A and B are shown apart, each in its own frame.
Chain A
């Protein structure tokens, strides 16, 4: 099989050349810096390139949306980030933003408008699902046809924004068996990392939230835990390690599953 090197287009470069991409791909801090989540950013970028989607990233100009600051109570910092980002988006005349992080998605979509933002926000799950529906993206069902997959709903896609069925629709297309945990959809249990918990030790209790969630996972005994959020990914991956399940199951993002199925 041949490979082709790809360059990820950067907004400033395109703009200098007078080009305007259709979408801004917002990578997010986790996509940029978290070693595990970088792979998700890469997988999603590969899919975009594979589909010839017109997009660009902000690169060095990207910064934090401010979500963890806001949820930790630092409204001042959040708004500074938000207003800066909105300025930058306006400067680049951004109309459509795709995010691979549900927290970024939620903040852009629901909270930035209060501060004057005026752009369409699209979750990568939604757009992937749309590409599949339109027949633009055809999934190869060979790769996962023997897999048992369970999906862990991220709070900020699910309860926060009602995106429950789209990820499931994609997973069903992969050809494997989709098994539901007892707590799913709006009943799903948080991974424990939202609301800025990702950045601190948990308060004292008698269990870690991600281990409680892993018990749900173990009950359905999948080969793959599909996730769609960088925080959920960190927590679930930790859970797999903690429960010594590395031999048995993998934690993959939905974008990775698609990229892998297509051998990208």
Chain B
């Protein structure tokens, strides 16, 4: 009974803290702008199956991709066992889901195998991070804390997997010694029971309990650490993929408030016909965290800092300041800084700083070729170029600031209908004196 009470309290605390964190994050979302409407659920489901569960984009780097995929699939399978542990803990029962029979055996066996595979992958990940210098994990945005964050999370996962295997092995030894019926199949842990040779039934049971508690409490702790770490992607990435923009990568979203203005400009008569809009005047483009559409913020929270985007960015490769990963991390950091103050003092609150310039410099923004390599590469379909262009929109339309040559290009388009300074009269020069050979 005490076990049940302790467990219930631990679970309640976990859920309580988690709910608090999530509600705070939701309030941050309330500060952001409306984006696209989430429709085409069937297509979204398909993208989720393909990109999230199929891990297709992760596999763009096959070897390390496979290891990550194993970790992901492992999590999905092992989750089943964790749910059982919660039920067991709450009701003081043992292996409650074993009523599911063959399916149960299957899930336990795969979970047991995956525990080992995940553990191996995590060890490889840790070695890569600690001993090898992978360029992708470096960059100005990768502060020490980012590395510690990654390593702590990996270590927790490793202990989770070891405790799971320990728990399974101790369970097997215990039922053997106590003469109980075995529930589930454990192809890996059955080879680990020698660890407990020579121990009494009670000692083995204590071991079993220690691993059991370690495992479940660590899960509770981990769940609450995640939202404060880059490993928040464990929760966010699947929904983020579900919420991907489904349009071709080349498409930039239209600014409807600009369309209204341009239409008025082109046809002043429409000014009278147009219904008066009493919507508050929105800023053009993105200057600060609250100007982004909710999806950009979702992207920022989901970013795993894996650096795949930056490693393929032509600007970054050639030594320019732009790093698409940094753009995502900056948005997240800026909201973390300004969000709480806005919640307290209202959305109009200003601390004299902004995302553009204080976090992301103009130089970074103007270096982007909108090549979409970053968006293509991102395993969870984050859309960096859109956010980058949104910030350019702010610079150009609100501040009128752009590199001089771009301003000249704007003028040319406006006056000559081409980005270069040529006369529209010369549009057909290319077609002069054209001859084809007749065979």
**Same assembly:** yes
A32-72 residues at the B interface, CB under 8 angstroms: 32-34, 38, 41-42, 45-46, 49-50, 57-60, 62-64, 66, 68-72
- Residue-wise, chain A 192-203 has the 8 Å CB interface mask toward B (1 for contact) of 111111111111
- Cα of A161 to Cα of B248 in the assembled complex, Å: 6
With A64-B413, A194-B370, A199-B406 known as contacts, the answer to whether A42 contacts B431 (CB < 8 A) is: yes
Is A14 close to B, CB under 8 A?
no
Q: Are B252 and A71 interface neighbours, CB within 8 A?
A: yes
Contact indicator A190/B248 (Cβ below 8 Å): no
Cα A32 to Cα B403 in complex, Å, equals 25
Within 8 A of A (CB), among B42-61: 60
Q: Give A59 to B284 CA distance when docked, in angstroms.
A: 34
A74: Cβ under 8 A from any B Cβ = yes
**Residue from the set B322, B363, B393 with the largest chain A CB neighbour count within 10 Å:** B393
| Per-residue A-contact encoding for B318-360, CB less than 8 Å = 1, 0 else | 1111100000000000000000000000000000000000000
- Give the most central of A49, A50, A72: most B CB within 10 Å: A72
Determine how close the nearest CB of chain B comes to the CB of A131; give it in whole angstroms: 16
Give the residue of B252, B262, B318, B417 whose beta carbon is less than 8 angstroms from that of A70: B252
Q: Which residues of A contact B253 (CB under 8 A)?
A: 114
Interface residues on B, range: 35 or more
Contact string against A for B residues 353-395, beta-carbon threshold 8 Å, 1 for contact and 0 otherwise = 0000000000100111111110110000000010001011111
- CB of A4 within 8 A of CB of B436, answer yes
B55 CB → nearest A CB, Å: 16
> A77-111 toward B: CB 8 Å interface, digit per residue (1/0)?
10111011000000000000000000000100111
A59: B residues at CB distance < 8 A: 427-428
Counting chain A CB atoms within 10 Å of each CB, the highest count among B250, B413, B431 belongs to B250
A110, B248: Cβ atoms closer than 8 Å: yes
Q: Does A244 contact B (CB under 8 A)?
A: no
Is the C-beta of B418 less than 8 angstroms from some C-beta in chain A?
A: yes
Asked if B263 and A83 make an inter-chain contact with CB atoms under 8 angstroms apart, the answer reads yes
With a cutoff of 8 Å between Cβ atoms, the chain A residues found around residue B367 in the complex are 202-203, 205
User: Does B254 sit at the interface, judged by CB under 8 A?
Assistant: yes
Report the tally of A-B residue pairs with Cβ distances under 8 A: 250
Q: Nearest A residue to B261 by beta-carbon distance?
A: A76
Is residue A179 contacting chain B, with contact meaning CB distance below 8 A?
Answer: no
Q: CB of B419 within 8 A of chain A?
A: yes
Q: Does B91 contact A (CB under 8 A)?
A: no
Pairwise interchain contact A68-B409, C-beta atoms closer than 8 A:
yes
Q: Which residues of A contact B263 (CB under 8 A)?
A: 83
Is A8 an interface position by the 8 A CB rule? yes
Contact with A along B241-264 (1 / 0, CB 8 A): 000000111111111001101110
Question: Is A146 in contact with chain B by the CB < 8 A criterion?
Answer: no
* Interface membership of B397, Cβ < 8 A: yes
Instruction: Tell me which of A42, A71, A83, A205 contacts B318 (CB under 8 A).
Output: A205
Evaluate contact between A4 and B438: CB separation under 8 angstroms: yes
Find out whether the CB atom of B435 lies under 8 angstroms from the CB atom of A6. Answer: yes
Chain B residues near A200: list those with CB within 8 A: 366, 403, 405-406, 409
| A10 interface residue per 8 A CB criterion | yes
B314 near A159 with CB under 8 A, answer no
Q: Is A137 an interface residue (CB 8 A)?
A: no
Does A115 count as interface, using CB distance less than 8 angstroms? Answer: yes
Chain B residues lying within 8 Å of A38, measured Cβ to Cβ, are 429-430
8 CB < 8 A contacts A-B? A3-B435, A5-B435, A33-B418, A72-B410, A73-B396, A73-B402, A81-B417, A194-B370
Q: Which 4 A-B pairs have the closest CB atoms?
A: A160-B250, A73-B392, A195-B370, A63-B417
Q: Apart from A72-B406, A72-B409, A190-B373, what 9 extra A-B contacts exist at CB < 8 Å?
A: A4-B435, A32-B429, A66-B413, A70-B389, A75-B284, A77-B414, A189-B317, A199-B409, A204-B363
